[in-house]
Amino acid sequence: MNGAQILLATLTRNGVEVCFANPGTSEMPVVAGLDEVPGMRCVLGLFEGVVTGAADGYARMADRPAATLLHLGPGLANGLANLHNARRAHSPVVNVIGDHPGYHRRHDPPLACDIEAVARPFSQWVRTSPAADSLAADAAAAVAAARTPPGQVASLIVPADAAWTPLTADPSPVTAVPPAPAPVPGAAVDAAARMLRSGETAALLLGPQATREAPLELAGQIAAVTGARLYAPTHTARITRGAGRVPVRRVPYPVDQAVAAFGDMQNIILVGAPPPVAFFAYPGKPSRLSGPGARVHELARADQDVPGALAALRDALGAGGAVPERAGLRLPARPAGALTPGKIGAALAASLPENAVVIDESITTGRSFLADTAGSRPHDWILATGGSIGYALPCATGAAVACPDRTIVVLESDGSGMYTPQALWTQAREQLSVLTLVFANRRYQILRDELSNAGVTAAGPAARALTDIGNPAIDWVALARALGAEAFRAATADELARCIDAGLAVGGPAVIEVTL
């Protein structure tokens, strides 16, 4: 057994059974090991941003890490944007990054770089394994780091000679031992209970550990007896929602709307979430979204037992018998006529299959989609967490691998989609059930809005040209078919409803270009 084989054996021993890969020469021992070590499903991506984004989507739905296989520093660099999103989502990810042997690296070959320095800003754990005999322990440590609450990105750098060299030590996989989430101090629970009993206005800002069905029930019981509002951050990892689920508001993206949402809040209680801040700085607008007199209290950090903290707070308030508000089933009639964001939202609300997973990167077109689908059949909703665009198609790929029995629906803007369209090829290769709606307005509308937000009242032709992606127009139907997906085009609400039905019936990847 060599180093690559014990690496794979240790990963699979510890529940890492999927590897999203874009390997190169230095990773060939690991590639060869896939035929020698059973239990690892390897999924090829044609770009490293697809690989890392897929690992993020897999983790968000499976609640366990996948591995990535990346080629040296430049390969890692190609995947960093979606590792940024994964890190912000608290997604457990194990990156395996090949490197040159030390004896070769000292000659400065073309692909050589400081991989640890590249990985560190986007990883919570980084290590270079020095030899084959170290790989079992190092792989187990990487898995334990990835599974450290609330979830981390772990990057293990594997020099090629460590991978190809036969073992001299015990060839047994090592078991990872991740730590348990830390308990929340009773004083934090008592302080939150006092705030909620005070009669003052209050909001619970729920992080990603608190927006799943069970903790949302607890938060809903707390809200039922205190009148507290439930919010999720603008960009949150996963929300369980739809008919029968406790509804939670999303903090608005525009600063003025977000400030207004918290304007009358005297108390903001953080439940595994950071304090609410603006996504960007703007002239004359605040960074903090809470009012100047608001008290901000941290009930639980993200690395603590967030569901346990909510249960303790519910019990402290005597809310165990409370019945939370739940969304009712409200399926609108299929819309007709000219397309508008509202009609798109209605078509989605009427069509989402039960237990669907929605990956939302609709940017400006989809500002109302969460509200539009509040009464849809039960589903999960995933949002970008770090703001790096081009995440939705890869994230959907990983989510589909994690949940082969669920339909994945992607809401994608045309500009963001062009960052990682290669994900469609992987979806076709793996025959994943993913329906993607691309909102083709032929421009970066978010940038046109941001020009105004930044105080630019009269953008000139050069500035506006940098927000225009319609010259030449991108043909998403042709692009999707070239990458192996079925494709449709909808220019009216009637056509969109029919295309959604057709796309859901494909059984593999399908794309609808929604022309706006």
Q: Do 154 and 93 meet the contact criterion of CB atoms below 8 Å apart?
A: yes
Q: 396-424: buried (b, 16+ CB within 10 Å) or exposed (e) per residue?
A: bbbbbbbbeebbbbbbbbbbbbbbbbbbb
Q: 202-240: buried (b, 16+ CB within 10 Å) or exposed (e) per residue?
A: bbbbbbbbbbbeebbbbbbbbbbbbebbbbbbbbbbbbb
- Residue among 516, 385, 455 at smallest CA distance from 59: 385
CA distance 290 to 279: 14
Residue 417, both tokens: 């989609």
Where among 118, 133, 164 does a domain terminate?
A: 164
Please indicate, yes or no, whether residues 131 and 212 belong to a single structural domain of this protein. no
Q: What is the pLDDT of residues 282-297, one digit of tens each?
A: 888 999 999 888 999 9
CA distance 348 to 342: 10
Whether residue 217 is contained in a domain is answered as: yes
Whether residue 334 is contained in a domain is answered as: no
CA distance 192 to 357: 33
CA distance 220 to 217: 5
What is the pTM assigned to this prediction? Answer: 0.95
**Does residue 353 have a cis bond before it (omega within 30 degrees)?**
no
Please indicate, yes or no, whether residues 469 and 352 belong to a single structural domain of this protein. yes
- Quote the Cα angle for 241-362-93, to 5°: 70
Whether residue 501 is contained in a domain is answered as: yes
CA distance 147 to 152: 6
Per-residue pLDDT, 379: 98
Q: Do 93 and 59 meet the contact criterion of CB atoms below 8 Å apart?
A: yes
Per-residue pLDDT, 394: 98
Which residues are registered as beta bridge partners of 511? Answer: 436, 487
Where among 164, 195, 224 does a domain terminate?
A: 164
Whether residue 369 is contained in a domain is answered as: yes
Per-residue pLDDT, 465: 78
Whether residue 330 is contained in a domain is answered as: no
Please indicate, yes or no, whether residues 214 and 128 belong to a single structural domain of this protein. no
Whether residue 54 is contained in a domain is answered as: yes
Please indicate, yes or no, whether residues 144 and 229 belong to a single structural domain of this protein. no
- Residue among 168, 103, 181 at smallest CA distance from 136: 168
Per-residue pLDDT, 460: 83
Please indicate, yes or no, whether residues 118 and 200 belong to a single structural domain of this protein. no
Cα-based distances in Å from 299 to 86, 205, 460, 473: 24, 10, 48, 50
Please indicate, yes or no, whether residues 152 and 66 belong to a single structural domain of this protein. yes
**How many independent structural domains does the chain possess?**
3
CA distance 205 to 292: 17
CA distance 223 to 229: 6
| Total residue count of the chain as it appears in this document | 516
List the pLDDT tens digit at each of the 516 positions of the chain.
Answer: 999 999 999 999 999 999 999 999 999 999 999 999 999 999 999 999 999 999 999 999 999 999 999 999 999 999 999 999 999 999 999 999 999 999 999 999 999 999 999 999 999 999 999 999 999 999 999 999 999 999 999 999 999 999 999 999 889 999 999 999 999 999 999 999 999 999 999 999 999 999 999 999 999 999 999 999 999 999 999 999 999 999 999 999 889 999 999 999 999 999 999 999 998 888 889 999 998 889 999 999 999 999 999 999 999 999 999 999 999 999 999 999 999 999 999 999 999 999 999 999 998 898 899 999 999 999 999 999 999 999 999 999 999 999 999 999 999 999 999 999 999 999 999 999 999 999 998 877 777 777 777 777 777 888 777 788 888 999 999 999 999 999 999 999 999 999 999 999 999 999 999 999
Please indicate, yes or no, whether residues 293 and 224 belong to a single structural domain of this protein. yes
**Does residue 150 have a cis bond before it (omega within 30 degrees)?**
yes
Please indicate, yes or no, whether residues 131 and 199 belong to a single structural domain of this protein. no
Where among 283, 316, 349 does a domain terminate?
A: 316
Whether residue 455 is contained in a domain is answered as: yes
Structural domain boundaries enclosing 293: 186-316
CA distance 460 to 281: 22
Please indicate, yes or no, whether residues 89 and 219 belong to a single structural domain of this protein. no
Amino acid identity, residue 83? Answer: L
Whether residue 169 is contained in a domain is answered as: no
Q: What is the CATH number of the domain that holds 408?
A: 3.40.50.970
Please indicate, yes or no, whether residues 283 and 357 belong to a single structural domain of this protein. no
Q: What is the CATH number of the domain that holds 290?
A: 3.40.50.1220
Q: What is the pLDDT of residues 313-356, one digit of tens each?
A: 999 999 999 999 999 999 999 999 999 999 999 999 999 999 99
Per-residue pLDDT, 450: 76
Please indicate, yes or no, whether residues 10 and 130 belong to a single structural domain of this protein. yes
Please indicate, yes or no, whether residues 271 and 403 belong to a single structural domain of this protein. no
